[in-house]
Structure 1
Amino acid sequence: MRLSYENKLLAILSLSFGFVFFDRLALSFLFPFVSAELHLDNAHLGMLSSCLALTWAISGAVLGAYSDRLPSKKPMLVLAVLGFSLCSALSGAVTGFVSLLLFRALMGIAEGPVLPLSQSMIAASSTPARRGLNMGIVNGAAPGFLGAVLGPPVIIWLGTHYGWRHAFYLSCVPGLIIACLIWKYVEAQPATAPPRTRAGGTQRVGIRDLLKDRNIFLCMLIACFYLTWFVIIISFTPTFLMQVKKYRPETMGYVMSCLGFAWVLWGFLVPAISDRIGRKPAMFGFSLVAACCPLCLLYVESAATMMPVVFLTYTGLGCFTLFMAIIPSESIAAGSIATALGLIMSVGELVGGFLSPTIAGLAADRFGLSIVMWIAAVGAFVPAILALFLKETAPLVVQAGTRGAAPGVPVEG
């Protein structure tokens, strides 16, 4: 049976954003090998993560907003995928910290617009009943599976057997293939008209108007803390497990793969649950659970115990789909979805992705690597509190509230 365009687009965009994280996380998995040859420390790792996050943030905001003015997002997406793939390969040719920093910065520029481009295309081409599921797969399950399930064992195996430079060289191959798939199979125009959102209409609005929306503003704040939680865990955990827990590289890879499997599961399960119970309670409850994950990494000693525990507590990536895609897309005019998603992502990357890793790296060099896990725990706890102030947007919950409200009484989230 021939796949519908919706399914075909879902598969291609899932591969695109999934391999964004495959390439982005490769340095974290290879850093124990890279640092030994280039004589780098935890502060260098923090600065490398921060540099990529900074350029990712600027690129995502600027190019995401610009893409809403283009007749087609396809050419920009093809160039973005080609760009981050080549920059990943060039990371294997570096001779020191400065050149590695440069290529990671260029990678951030290329990767920045991929999320707002992909999610706005998915929102425009999805049937209403599948929009949340499709966005959850692109934003959560795909990067979890490709970046954090396949990534650790594949990258670490390549680094162990062929050296970290060859691992970087080979990491670009999937991206080149995906760029060809986008060029051949993705339509230049959306398959359907832009969806009408809870805000009503499809018109484009400016950033100033977006910031007046309570949900957009809160999602920006949540992104700042949640990016801190995510980037610190994903950047420092491989080194933490090897240096503090004294795990072998293979054991470290197994633990990181458990985080990846959890990313896949919770990436679509949390949005699915939020369809039933509401976005607010899902964000609150699963964020509290996510705050426990870095503490489990800190206090659980046995790898056999740690793997199932972190699998059950690594729920935050499911929340990412809520505050970075679903809640914004349900709160504003459809013509500004890429702008809003780029804005939320960029502000979160600037604070949580750019500032936090550098601060955490410096703190780790001074107080020990354990401090980074406490910083990460706070990064998930604060969003749980902020979630209480969101306006509910889940269609089933909003409709049920409207039916139960007295005539003439507005329903608040």
Structure 2
Amino acid sequence: MRAGAAPSADRYENRLLLILFLAFGFVFFDRQALAFLAPYMDEDFGLSNSELGVLSGVLALTWALAGMFAGNLSDRLGRRKPILIGAVLLFSLFSSASGLMTGFAGLLLARALMGAAEGAVLPMAQSLMVDASRESRRGLNMGVLQGSSAGLLGGIVAPVAVVWLAETFGWRTAFFVTIVPGIVIAGLIAKFVLERSPRSVAAEQAAGAPAKRPKVPIRDVLRMRNVVICMLIAPCYLTWFVTLITFTPKYLTDEKHWSPGTMSAVMTCLGVAWVLWGFATPAISDRIGRRPALIGFTALAVCCPLAVVHVESPVLLGALLILTYTGLGCFTLFMATIPAETVPKAALATALGVIMGVGELAGGFLGPLVAGRASDAWGLQAAMFIAAGGAALVVALSFALRETAPAVLRRRAGAETAEAVA
């Protein structure tokens, strides 16, 4: 890279991270809103646990299909920015439309359309971020983009803002306001995001020729061991996440009989943990390796839904949730960082879309449906045990991954060279 290119590339990297942080953060703000508004919607809709699971599941279904389609389309066209702008505008529009619905069928349609728009955001955002990131900050950047952003805006801001809006103006208003940040963020993407980062352009110039990215058939991507393992991990982890985040607010209000304010405060603790582990887990994995980080932090995540069931003190539960809600930092590893370090760049958006799509389809869609029916039959604690089981399966699957962290691979290569010389 030319000496003069590095500062510009670094500034763009930081600016892109901020914009994509806001974009994906508001995706989760909108996605989480329904769980926090469900207690306020009972008078109009009287949602059962099964219906709440269906609403969460249909969003995951359309999210999955859109993610797989958008990722493949992006790699074929070599374009990401226009797809990202369109997705941000549409998910904001469909989220606000939820406030207009007067029946379950209309709400189901709005959530399905919202998921179809949101599914394109993560593959586009992460592929743009990988292209602009320094190797030493790759895991951290991808974690901040995917984990910390969703935690701050979806886990901390959403329960406070959404509950306050519902208490003050009604639940419909809480949906209506979601269109405003989407329009602003789409404008920022249009003005400041580049299709190819300065770092990528500088690397091509240093090589003396434009980098060629031959098309990679999807069947070749699906033969890669890490991609297959990540595809198996994704539905298990999505079951943990979607089931936990969908049914915890109702569990706290219906089973523990806590007030909406207490529920909101405890759910905010999930957001704090989401922000903390969202960047800490990938950053730690840059140093100790993706595989051991995924195994260790997922083992902690198994304890999170169990704490919801067994801990009766709101203060103690909040503290334990901060310590054990580590899974969202792991999401970045299996859904973005490990695939990015495994597949060719020409197939990156496709790989991200497929892994995310399989996870949302099998875990995000089927997981809450099963958990909802199980909760209607045996009580809401059944959903928490299903979530814990999903994380436990991830621990077992993670042992089959091959390490991809560049720093760890260099240390291993150095150690092998030293042994050979000795």
What TM-score does the superposition give when structure 1 sets the normalisation length? 0.95
Match of 2:129 among 119, 122, 135: 122
Counterpart of 2:275, as a letter, is: V
Residues 371 and 184 (structure 1), Cα distance of their counterparts in 2 relative to 1, 3 Å cut: same
Of 264, 268, 277, 1:257 maps to 268
Question: Can you list the C-alpha shifts for 1:253-273, whole angstroms capped at 9, x where unaligned?
Answer: 011110001000001101111
Distance in structure 2 (CA, Å) of the matches to 1:27 and 1:204: 40
> Matched residues in 2 for 1:346 and 1:265: separation?
26
Distance 2:32 2:213 in 1: 36
Q: In the aligned structure 2, how far is the partner of 1:204 from the partner of 1:320?
A: 27
2:165 and 2:377 map into 1 onto residues whose CA distance is: 32
**Contact 1:205–1:335 under 8 Å retained in 2:** yes
Deviation at 1:35, TM superposition (A): 2.5
- Residue of 84, 89, 92 corresponding to 2:91: 84
2:369 maps to a residue whose letter is T
Structure 2 counterpart of 1:6, which letter?
A: E
Deviates more, 1:12-21 or 1:171-180: 171-180
TM-superposed CA distance for 1:407, in Å, is 9.0
Taking the aligned partners of 2:224 and 2:164, their CA distance within structure 1 comes to: 47
**Aligned partner of 1:70 among 68, 77, 91:** 77
- Retained in 1: the 8 A contact 2:28–2:154? yes
Query: C-alpha displacement at 1:128, in angstroms?
Result: 2.2
Displacement after TM superposition at 1:201 (Å): 8.5
Segment of structure 1 superposing worse, 207-216 or 3-12:
3-12
- State the match for 1:240 in structure 2: 251
One-letter amino acid matched to 1:193:
S
1:76-111 Cα offsets, whole Å, 9 max, x none, are 111100000000100000011000000000001100
- The answer to whether 1:375 aligns with 2:386 is yes
Q: How does 1:243-392 map to 2 (within 5 A)?
A: 243-392=254-403
> CA separation in 1, counterparts of 2:191 and 2:294?
38
What is the rounded CA distance, in whole Å, between the counterparts of 2:79 and 2:58 in structure 1? Answer: 29
Shift of 1:280: 1.1
Contact 2:235-2:360 within 8 A present in 1 as well: yes
- Mapping of residues 112-151 of structure 1, within 5 Å: 112-151=119-158
Residue 104 and residue 235 in structure 1: after superposition, are their counterparts in 2 closer, same or farther (change >3 A)? same
Question: Aligned pair in 2 of structure 1 residues 202, 390: CA closer, same or farther (>3 Å)?
Answer: farther
2:112 to 71, 82, 105: 105
Of the three residues 19, 22, 39, the one matched with 2:46 is 39
Matches for 1:137-216 after TM superposition, within 5 Å: 137-193=144-200, 202-216=213-227
Contact 2:80 2:195 in 1 (8 A): yes
- CA distance in 1 between partners of 2:294 and 2:195 (Å): 35
| In 2: Cα distance, 1:175 partner to 1:148 partner | 18
CA contact (8 A) 1:222 1:383 kept: yes
State the shift of 1:129 in Å.
2.2
Which amino acid is 1:381 matched to?
Answer: A
Report the residue type matching 1:25 in the other structure: Q
Q: Distance in 2 between matches of 1:262 and 1:296?
A: 14
SS class of match (1:331): coil
CA distance in 2, matches of 1:262, 1:203: 41
When structure 1 is superposed on structure 2, of 339-348 and 172-181 the one drifting more is 172-181
SS of the residue corresponding to residue 68 of structure 1 reads helix
Gaps of 5+ in 2: 1-6, 205-210
AA aligned to 2:97 is L
- Deviation digits for residues 118-143 of structure 1, max 9, x if unmatched? 00001111222222211111011111
In structure 1, list runs of 5 or more residues that go unmatched.
none
Residue 309 of structure 2 contacts residue 384 of structure 2 at CA under 8 Å; is this kept in 1? yes
The answer as to whether partners of 2:128 and 2:195 remain within 8 angstroms in 1 is: no
TM-score under structure 2 length normalisation = 0.93
Q: Do residues 393 (structure 1) and 400 (structure 2) align? A: no
> Over aligned residue pairs, what C-alpha RMSD do you find?
1.9
Contact 1:262–1:314 (Cα < 8 Å) also in 2: yes
Three-state SS of the structure 2 residue aligned to 1:212 is: coil
Between the aligned partners of 2:212 and 2:343, the Cα distance in structure 1 is 9
Residue 198 of structure 2 aligns to a residue in which SS? coil
CA distance in 2, matches of 1:187, 1:93: 36
Q: Structure 2 CA distance, aligned partners of 1:207 and 1:257?
A: 40
Task: Please list the CA deviations of residues 53-72 of structure 1 after superposition, one character each: whole Å capped at 9, or x if unmatched.
Answer: 00000000011110112243
1:358 partner letter: L
Give me the whole-angstrom Cα distance separating, in 2, the residues matched to 1:79 and 1:190. Answer: 20
Q: Within 1, Cα distance between the matches of 2:411 and 2:14?
A: 30
Q: Deviations over 1:179-223 (max 9, x none)?
A: 111111112433332889xxx995441221111111000001000
Identity %: 52
Is 1:217–2:223 an aligned residue pair?
no
Distance 1:334 1:188 in 2: 14
Q: Is the CA contact (8 Å cut-off) linking 2:139 and 2:285 kept in structure 1?
A: no
Q: Please state whether the residue corresponding to 1:192 is helix, strand or coil.
A: helix
Q: Is the 8 A contact 1:28 1:234 kept in 2?
A: yes
